């Protein structure tokens, strides 16, 4: 089963602050019918990268069966970490980076890695799909499924 996850997020504060993220999770069934789920995450005192990671985890956790999931998000850090397999490397090194320090948001990375073992995950740049719906969720509007 193929699933597309479209994500937008906003964060206030540098490097930490409050933020909100929204996801539209799209699945097209065998009859060509589109099914949508919505997710939202709010954080306080987190970085923008932590927020992006949390909304990805939240969206992937809604998937009930193993899927081929493509996440559309504009987060270079998350994209690089996934493409270069940093979480796998950190795990093999006892959850240490090359510097010997633990990565930030280690528990979230462990969850993301676990979900990546269940689902086949790809990360692509966000492409404006569902922009209006995501904006509505981010501004406190509809989050119903």
From first to last of its 145 residues, what are the pLDDT tens digits of the chain? 899 999 999 999 888 999 999 999 999 988 999 999 999 999 999 999 999 999 999 999 999 999 999 999 999 999 999 999 999 999 999 999 989 999 999 999 999 999 999 999 999 999 999 999 999 999 887 666 5
> 48 lies in a domain?
yes
> 104 lies in a domain?
no
Give 75-116 as a DSSP string: -HHHHHHHHTTHHHHHHHTTS--TTSSPPTTHHHHHHHHHHH
Is 136 exposed, middle or buried, given 0-12, 13-18 or 19+ CB atoms closer than 10 A?
Answer: middle
> 113 lies in a domain?
no
The pLDDT, as a whole number, for residue 144 is: 64
Look at the pTM and tell me if it is higher than 0.75. yes
CA distances from 106 to 14, 79, 101, 113, 122 (A): 20, 17, 11, 10, 20
> 65 lies in a domain?
yes
> 103 lies in a domain?
no
> 89 lies in a domain?
no
**Residue 90 φ/ψ, nearest 5 degrees:** -60, -45
Domain that holds residue 130: 2-83+121-138
The answer to whether residues 20 and 10 touch, using CB atoms and an 8 Å cutoff, is yes
The answer to whether residues 73 and 123 touch, using CB atoms and an 8 Å cutoff, is yes
> 101 lies in a domain?
no
Structure tokens at 119: 């689902």
> 98 lies in a domain?
no
How many domains does the chain contain in total? 1
The pLDDT, as a whole number, for residue 30 is: 87
The pLDDT, as a whole number, for residue 74 is: 96
């Amino acid at each position: 089963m193929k699933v597309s996850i479209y994500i937008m997020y906003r964060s206030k504060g540098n490097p930490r602050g409050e933020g909100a993220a929204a996801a539209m999770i799209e699945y097209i069934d065998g009859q060509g019918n589109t099914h949508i789920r919505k997710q939202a995450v709010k954080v306080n005192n987190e970085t923008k990268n932590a927020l992006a990671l949390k909304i990805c985890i939240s969206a992937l956790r809604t998937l009930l069966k193993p899927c081929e999931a493509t996440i559309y998000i504009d987060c270079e850090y998350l994209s690089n970490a996934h493409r270069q397999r940093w979480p796998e490397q950190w795990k093999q090194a006892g959850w240490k980076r090359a510097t010997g320090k633990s990565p930030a948001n280690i528990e979230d990375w462990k969850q993301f890695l676990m979900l990546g073992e269940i689902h086949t995950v790809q990360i692509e740049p966000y492409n404006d799909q569902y922009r209006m719906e995501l904006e509505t969720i981010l501004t406190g509007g509809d989050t119903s499924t």
